[in-house]
Amino acid sequence: MSKSARLLSPPPLPRPRNHLLTSEEFLDWLQPGIRADLIGGEISMHSPVQLRHANLVNFMERLLAGYIEERDLGVLHREVVAVRLSLRETFMPDLAFFTKQQATRFAEAHIPVAPTFVLEALSPATVQNDTRRKFSAYELHGVQEYWILDPQKLAHRFYRRAGDMFVEFPKDATRIDSASIPGFWVKRAWLQPDKPPAVRACLAEVLKPRKPRGRGGK
């Protein structure tokens, strides 16, 4: 086995399998190149994703990163960064946005603050976690907006905070306006993993100033 392969192999668990881990034990166990979540004190390993999943996340990362940088709003991270939510919950979201104020609280090896915005793309191995266990954890710990993209069925779902709960956006909306990233939006038609549109053209459209409405909203 090569040195690089050894580095990517999960290290031995820090405690017996029936022991619920703390986030600190999980973070001590986690190594560069290992992708996993700690959910309710249990380790859930990430599996390699299909191309449709990768295409969709890559498109959204480039679009969001370009917009956030242009508007100087904060920081966007991919799933290589661990986000500690609680004593037994540490996740590695597909995409997570943090405001500039939140970024001042980052630790050296992990992020100890809940993101403002989270995007997760579903895969067969993560559906239950992303739509149930991680959903409730994001909701509980103050995430303001949660987008769940479905690369296979294109049944994308978008949630924003209303008090203590997530509330789904209108399901038939053709344009999705973010509630937590000021001025950001996407067209549902752009979220096509088989042939994503050109990011540069989409970003230019999102950044284009809106025309002021006349009287009567016309």
Total tally of structural domains belonging to the chain: 1
Residue 205 confidence (pLDDT) above 90: yes
Asked if residue 199 is part of any domain, the answer here is yes
Contact 160, 144 (CB under 8 A): yes
Contact 88, 134 (CB under 8 A): no
Q: Could you tell me which of 157, 185, 183 has the C-alpha nearest to residue 169? A: 157
SS3 158: strand
Query: CB atoms < 10 A from the CB of 176, how many?
Result: 18
Asked if residue 80 is part of any domain, the answer here is yes
pLDDT of residue 109: 94
Task: Residue count of the chain, please give it.
Answer: 218
Question: What letter does residue 88 receive in the DSSP assignment?
Answer: T
pLDDT band, very low/low/confident/very high, at 8 (cuts 50, 70, 90): low
pLDDT of residue 5: 41
Asked if residue 33 is part of any domain, the answer here is no
Mean residue pLDDT of the chain comes to: 91
Look up the CATH number of the domain holding residue 170.
3.90.1570.10
Asked if residue 64 is part of any domain, the answer here is yes
Joined together, the tokens standing for residue 188 give 């549902």
Asked if residue 101 is part of any domain, the answer here is yes
pLDDT of residue 159: 98
Q: Print the domain residue range for 60.
A: 49-207
* Amino acid letter, 10: P
Asked if residue 214 is part of any domain, the answer here is no
pTM of the model: 0.90
pLDDT digits over 31-66, tens only? Answer: 999 999 999 999 999 989 999 999 999 999 999 999
Asked if residue 2 is part of any domain, the answer here is no
Asked if residue 162 is part of any domain, the answer here is yes
Joined together, the tokens standing for residue 140 give 């509980």
pLDDT band, very low/low/confident/very high, at 16 (cuts 50, 70, 90): low
